[in-house]
Amino acid sequence: MTLTGAPGPVAAQTTATAIFAGGCFWCVESDFDHVDGVVETTSGYIGGTNQNPTYENHPGHVEAVKITYDPAKVSYDELLTVFWHSVDPTDAGGQFCDRGHSYTTAIFATDSEQIEKAKASKAAVTKDLGTVVTPINTAPTFWPAEGYHQDYYQKNPLKYKYYRFSCGRDATVRRVWGDKAFEGIKDAMS
């Protein structure tokens, strides 16, 4: 309120969207929820052939996470850094113990600027790692996963921690990235 009692100008709340596939969406969601500036994460399916995919029926889709973020607090470039350093982008067969197309890595850009930034970041990562198999695509329809998959790591913390450890996710990321593992994630899973 201003001194006259009239409402003052209201700053527009602006958010943006990023979509990343990095293996099990429970883990990707958990990692991005630990990034300052991320407002919301939603686990889901993207890139397949059927409408309204489910966990039991998602041919061609990959597990992915739609990230709603505040660009005033975190940039798309910073989210790309988090993504790359929380997966094994050299593995074309899936991620960690989860094998098959559903668990492969991918970046789904929502506009041409994201495509260009993703390509530039992939080129930098390729210089670091040699081979990077992660495709960069324009985002088709993102389908939210069933409710029991959303915030799984918070709803089932013991099962989630056991899964993440036994799947070898953190150990593999540390092996691939060394001291760059989990870059940009505060309180990274250990």
Question: Alpha-carbon distance 172 to 178, whole Å?
Answer: 10
Where helices occur in 85-187 by DSSP H, the ranges are 112-129, 152-155, 157-167, 169-177
Enumerate the β-bridge partners of residue 17.
68
Question: Alpha-carbon distance 54 to 36, whole Å?
Answer: 30
Nearest by Cα to 154 from 38, 19, 24, 27: 27
From 24, 27, 97, 167, the catalytic residue: 24
Beta strands 16-22 and 105-109 are: antiparallel
Helix 157-167 and helix 169-177, axial crossing angle in degrees, nearest 10: 50
Enumerate the β-bridge partners of residue 68.
17, 40
Give the chain's length. Answer: 190
Q: 27 an active-site residue?
A: no
Q: Supply 51's token pair.
A: 């409408």
Q: Supply 182's token pair.
A: 């989990």
Residues catalogued as catalytic: 24
